[in-house]
Structure 1
């Protein structure tokens, strides 16, 4: 097979490009593709599967002029899984073949959104503990001769400082989740290990509140992404479940395959807590929203835990689901694409024998 793509000097050039690369033959079949082309859900079964890109390919076929466009593609198959923001360029490279170059602009988009939202939200949330500490310090100055009063106000200052520290840590965690992309350099993640580590992290607090935490379900399932981020998400769900449960109740974690789609893994955290009113269920994933502000204040909740979970789910091409009823508890389910061995194994360089098969 002669021509540009069979030239041994050209293939390493394509491999060295930082952009994601897809090469089409004269029938628009994928000859070569970077692994990330599959991650971005641009290629499936040796064909381009995004309508916007297919339309660009058709236009380049008509007049030979290169095309470029910003497109948005879903990160996964489930609703609410988030999006990749991509810059796509399509050009002819001779002999009826087309070259598609894709650059991921998702990180820049996330940074822009994060800066805007951080300024809008954090200033209000920081005012409360900072203002409380200032007021308590002033009160202590005016009551320096009353040791008992000073001790009481000092304890309240310590509590506010602790709350402020937790808030800052959660903001840092949210920024880390937004700034990274779990699907750019993903790893194989053992769901059993994620659940075990998450349960272990909340066990002490659960025991202090006389709450039993149990786990079970389908063993041996795998997903793809960032293990530490998924642990953070499951741990935050468990933190919330423990925080909003009464003593002598149970919190459970169940792992299963989606009955309607075995390509999805479901990690459900179930509590027997106070539940969430229907009018609040659509808002629980908003930053700084608290179902019970008094309880959150007493337990140190910042209102960022579920926002972090939502970002982790979207970052992995998944979603987060909620069922709840006041007085009957809540079930939060993290839904992630299942890792199936040899799935989505895109390769940039294939030999001539494979091209003829």
Structure 2
């Protein structure tokens, strides 16, 4: 569950607790008043003054109990519905991704064999386009399968010490392929000449999904700038940190959506002129992988058409 959902659950529990305390207190007052009247009747034989029954107190106390019980029942059923929906989504992701993996592998093998054969230039160009689209389809299916693994808590981290600068340089060509043949990818900032303990597969998954997100939401030509920073400790007890910013010039998103874009299946209201392809899981996977490794990920945008900047931050060794 997200932090916001947990907040609503805590607020609900607090509200029910307050209602229960108030309802119990009001009914205790009623019982105590009548007990005093009975004691007074036993100790005095003279006529007691007429005492009005506090019906308002009784009604408020009973209503409070009923409201608390009704709210608890409604909340319980809504929680069951949401849990069932999440389970169905996870089962669907797992089933679809597994069903698609085999035919894609077969198509990849056929494509590679046909490309090796001697062909006219035009046909070879068509096969190259076919191969690129097949790679994109494979990436989407792998994203679905990865999401299913995260939902079933079947992902474990294997941290190793890597040279961050080497990782960036080795990943650069792969990122260019993800962005597309006409894309522009530049690197600025300080060199990451240090070692960090990370899960290499998850770190690459994060960066690859951010690059794929930049490609999907690009307006004309895809242009991405990577900026790297070294952050000094804020105090003698603090630790040195690294920061990597991935900035695109795409459609961006409404600033009010900055806390929602990492949710599963979330689609930003960016008013793109055409429907954006994809599963809606890329940023969700990136955020999940960051949490697993103790990294921080944020996204910001000035609004529609202003591009977006995603920031990764972690500790240096």
The question of 1:251 aligning with 2:228 is answered no
| Alignment correspondent of 1:237 | 210
Give the counterpart of 1:266 among 233, 243, 251.
243
Give the counterpart of 1:333 among 307, 311, 315.
311
| Alignment correspondent of 2:289 | 312
| Alignment correspondent of 1:222 | 195
DSSP 3-state at the match of 1:179: coil
Question: How many residues get paired?
Answer: 194
Could you tell me how far apart the structure 2 residues matched to 1:226 and 1:192 are?
15
Q: 1:299 offset after TM fit, Å?
A: 5.6
The question of 1:188 aligning with 2:161 is answered yes
Could you tell me how far apart the structure 2 residues matched to 1:237 and 1:329 are?
13
DSSP 3-state at the match of 1:181: coil
| Alignment correspondent of 2:13 | none
| Alignment correspondent of 2:88 | 119
Moved more, 171-180 or 272-281: 171-180
| Alignment correspondent of 1:202 | 175
Q: 1:292 offset after TM fit, Å?
A: 6.0
DSSP 3-state at the match of 1:232: helix
- The C-alpha deviation readout for 1:262-313, integer Å capped at 9, x for no partner, is 5221111011111111232221101111226996996641111111111111
Contact 1:197 1:231 in 2 (8 A): no
From the superposition, tell whether residues 286 and 253 of structure 1 become closer, same or farther in structure 2 (CA, over 3 Å): same
> Which structure dedicates a bigger proportion of its chain to strand?
1
Could you tell me how far apart the structure 1 residues matched to 2:261 and 2:201 are?
23
Contact 1:269 1:333 in 2 (8 A): yes
Could you tell me how far apart the structure 1 residues matched to 2:287 and 2:273 are?
19
Could you tell me how far apart the structure 2 residues matched to 1:124 and 1:179 are?
14
Structure 1: stretches of 5+ with no match in the other structure: 1-78, 80-113, 131-160, 340-357
Structure 2: stretches of 5+ with no match in the other structure: 4-82, 100-133
DSSP 3-state at the match of 2:260: coil
Contact 1:264 1:337 in 2 (8 A): yes
Moved more, 257-266 or 321-330: 257-266
Q: 1:187 offset after TM fit, Å?
A: 0.6
| Alignment correspondent of 1:278 | 255
- The C-alpha deviation readout for 1:310-351, integer Å capped at 9, x for no partner, is 111111112101121122211101112212xxxxxxxxxxxx
Over the residues paired in the alignment, what is the CA RMSD in angstroms? Answer: 3.9
Normalising to structure 2: TM-score of the pair? 0.51
From the superposition, tell whether residues 288 and 119 of structure 1 become closer, same or farther in structure 2 (CA, over 3 Å): same
Contact 2:255 2:300 in 1 (8 A): no
Could you tell me how far apart the structure 1 residues matched to 2:273 and 2:206 are?
18
DSSP 3-state at the match of 2:142: helix
Could you tell me how far apart the structure 2 residues matched to 1:330 and 1:283 are?
14
Contact 1:199 1:235 in 2 (8 A): no
Q: 1:122 offset after TM fit, Å?
A: 5.7
Normalising to structure 1: TM-score of the pair? 0.46
From the superposition, tell whether residues 201 and 281 of structure 1 become closer, same or farther in structure 2 (CA, over 3 Å): same
Give the number of the structure whose alpha-carbon radius of gyration is greater. Answer: 2
From the superposition, tell whether residues 124 and 200 of structure 1 become closer, same or farther in structure 2 (CA, over 3 Å): closer
